[in-house]
Amino acid sequence: ETGVTQSPTHLIKTRGQQVTLRCSSQSGHNTVSWYQQALGQGPQFIFQYYREEENGRGNFPPRFSGLQFPNYSSELNVNALELDDSALYLCASSEAGGSGVNSPLHFGNGTRLTVT
């Protein structure tokens, strides 16, 4: 069974630039969620994708956007980077969106983004 994989592992960007982070879901999982985790904080929900559609969104501005592809992999795009966007970005997959209330999340190793 292939787990959740994320790329790249580390990234350094300059304020104002744009970044794309990538995620491949665990085999058999059709739902992908993205989280931002600042140092010393818990993961904060950005959004979730199910069947290539956004299926829920947290309190993040529109410059955070995403995509899900037919193979259930996903991208997180952040435009106009700010210093406060420096964080660990976590991708997690689960078995079912919508009615899958009991489905736990399985996390990838994350992408550490530093904005200077």
Partner 1 sequence: QKEVEQNSGPLSVPEGAIASLNCTYSDRGSQSFFWYRQYSGKSPELIMSIYSNGDKEDGRFTAQLNKASQYVSLLIRDSQPSDSATYLCAVKPHNDMRFGAGTRLTVKP
Q: Which residues bind partner 1 (CB under 8 A)?
A: 33, 35, 40-45, 48, 50, 55-56, 58, 88, 90, 92, 97-98, 100-102, 104-110
Considering beta carbons, is residue 43 or 66 the nearer one to partner 1?
A: 43
**Any idea how long the chain is?**
116
Nearest distance, CB of residue 58 and partner 1, angstroms: 7
Rounded CA gap, 17 and 6, in Å?
20
Rounded CA gap, 11 and 33, in Å?
20
**SS3 category, 85:** helix
Considering beta carbons, is residue 2 or 14 the nearer one to partner 1?
A: 2
Rounded CA gap, 84 and 69, in Å?
28
Nearest distance, CB of residue 16 and partner 1, angstroms: 28
Nearest distance, CB of residue 59 and partner 1, angstroms: 11
